[in-house]
Amino acid sequence: MILETSQTAWDFELLDTGSGQRLEKWGEVVLVRPDPQILWPKSLDEEAWKNIHARFLAGKDGEKGRWEIIRPLPKLWTVTYRGVEFRLRLSPFKHTGLFAEQSAQWDWMVAKLNSAIKAGTKPKILNLFGYTGGATAVLAKQGCQVTHVDASRPAITWANENGELNSLPKDSIRWILDDAVKFVKRELKRGARYDGILLDPPAFGHSPTGKTWKFAQDVPGLLQDCIGLLSPDARFLLINAYATNSSALSLNNLLEDAARKLGGTVEAGELCLKQKSSRLISTGIFARWSK
């Protein structure tokens, strides 16, 4: 089992963790956000935890949480990863528009595609549940042709902003506002093929038509359909999972069975962030196939 964390130094730092909270620095903006799995005490003194711009206060008894602004901060600001810029803002759901731990997967995908990119090809990548387009922008910047699919119009709009921020060629990204399951089935009928597929599905959600998405119920069929979309030269298929009852081992077993005829390698583990003291915290699980 792998504990995967990014080795790239960029505009994000996990300064400290403790007592159910993270102390994070996004560019010049310092935030405190709740994380219920953090059971240990804080390492830094209280002064470090007070010198912040904002903290997210979780709601009680089903109430929506809110941001408490401590010091003035911009409504929008940017951070940079390997020359790729991302526009951040405080969202109503405690997020900033970027999951910093995913930079480890960006490193991994770029490494898997490196030889194809150096050979002058433009790998075709499918990013399902693409959210605000972190992976989309990174891969398009590397020269890939990315199909970005998400069922949320605000997420697609935000992802577009990130694309424009990086002056990416307009034909490098195909934006699709759609249900991921239905889109993949249509792509199978059309005979589409991709050199890499990334899935970042929620534990629970709804499609634009109101259909309910449940991770354990819907992922196995979607994963099997995605296997059918891989090209003969495909380099990877990656699935991330957050806040589910599944384990990394169960994802590994599911992907192993789905990819049995492909050859290659399947591995799984926990996606982690490393704080300045080198302590790791787990943020999610993943399984990935590569050749």
CATH class name, domain 100-290:
alpha beta
Q: How far apart are CA 3 and CA 137, in angstroms?
A: 25
- Per residue in 103-126, pLDDT (tens digit) is 999 999 999 999 999 898 999 999
Could you tell me what percent of the chain has a pLDDT over 70? 97
- Per residue in 177-214, pLDDT (tens digit) is 999 999 999 999 999 999 999 999 988 776 666 677 78
Backbone angles phi, psi at 283, to 5 degrees: -115, -15
Q: How far apart are CA 64 and CA 41, in angstroms?
A: 26
Domain boundaries, the chain: 2-88, 100-290
Q: The whole model's pTM is what?
A: 0.95
Element housing 50 (H / E): helix 46-50
Calculate the CA 138 to chain-centre distance.
12
Using an 8 Å Cβ cutoff, are 196 and 234 in contact?
yes
- Per residue in 235-282, pLDDT (tens digit) is 999 999 997 888 999 999 999 999 999 999 999 999 999 998 999 999
Whether the per-residue pLDDT at 63 is higher than 70: the answer is: no
| Domain 2-88 indexed as CATH 2.60.40.1180 | yes
CA distances for 31 relative to 158, 206, 233, 242, angstroms:
21, 29, 42, 21
Task: Give the strand pairing for 173-177 and 145-150.
Answer: parallel
Task: Give the strand pairing for 84-88 and 77-81.
Answer: antiparallel
